[in-house]
Amino acid sequence: MTLLDFARGPALEWSLIILVAGTFLRIVGTLLLRGKKDLSKPKVKSTAGGAIRTVFNRMWPRPHFAQQISFPLMMAYIMHIGLFVVVFLYGPHIMFIKDLTGLSWGALPSSLIYFSGAAIVATMIALMIRRLTNPVLRMISTFGDYSSWLVTLLPVVTGMMAVSHLGARYETMLALHLLSVELLFIWFPFSKLVHAIFTIPSRAHLGATFERRGVKI
């Protein structure tokens, strides 16, 4: 079995199993958390408005914080949008998703995908430099922050190298790209990267809680 055969076969199968099972356990574990029962009298009949409002108004900082964090926030938006474009709008990735789920859609031009990949790498490096040079961020950063950064960056870099035929033979770089993606699959449920699933529900829950108490946030 070659490295590419291993990456396309057993490594892919087991990484997907761990991704699905681990994510499922994280979701179930969160749903089973028992909080204190809210004994206060509801101030409104429905909390849906507060939930939806909080999801959206947390997408940009309050005016008195905007100046301090506007740069890293914009870098984060560029990175996340770029990841979405590369993962879900690149032709070979769409074919991979179709093989798994049967779902498919149109792809963007490869030049735009490559540009998005370069933007991801640039913004991730900029954010890491900020983390390393900011005394507060450096103090509160943990192994999980640095490892999640690396595990997210590797598939982008190896994918761009494979497409550009850099570093090694195409088959070898494709295998390394697949292995880096599979590492991401395995790491995802047990790391801070799982915020991709929990961010919106947690904001909605916070907004609903405060709405119930008549607090505007």
pLDDT tens-digit readout, 97-148: 999 899 999 999 999 999 999 999 999 999 999 999 999 999 999 999 999 9
Lowest mean pLDDT of 30-39, 44-53, 161-170, 205-214, name the range. Answer: 30-39
Contact by Cβ (8 Å): 159, 110: no
160-165 long-range Cβ contacts below 8 angstroms, 24+ apart: 160/114, 160/117, 160/118, 160/121, 163/110, 163/114
Task: Report the percentage of the chain scoring pLDDT > 90.
Answer: 72
Contact by Cβ (8 Å): 124, 153: yes
Contact by Cβ (8 Å): 127, 75: yes
Give the largest Cα separation in the chain, rounded: 66
Mean pLDDT of 148-154: 97
Residues 131, 136: Cα–Cα separation, whole Å: 8
Lowest mean pLDDT of 12-26, 41-55, 102-116, name the range. Answer: 41-55
40, pLDDT greater than 80: no
In tens, the pLDDT along 197-211 reads 999 999 998 898 888
Residues 175, 161: Cα–Cα separation, whole Å: 12
Lowest mean pLDDT of 28-37, 87-96, 109-118, 147-156, name the range. Answer: 28-37
Reported as a pLDDT band with limits 50, 70 and 90, residue 1 is low
Q: How far is CA 161 from CA 96, 148, 177, in A?
A: 19, 20, 9
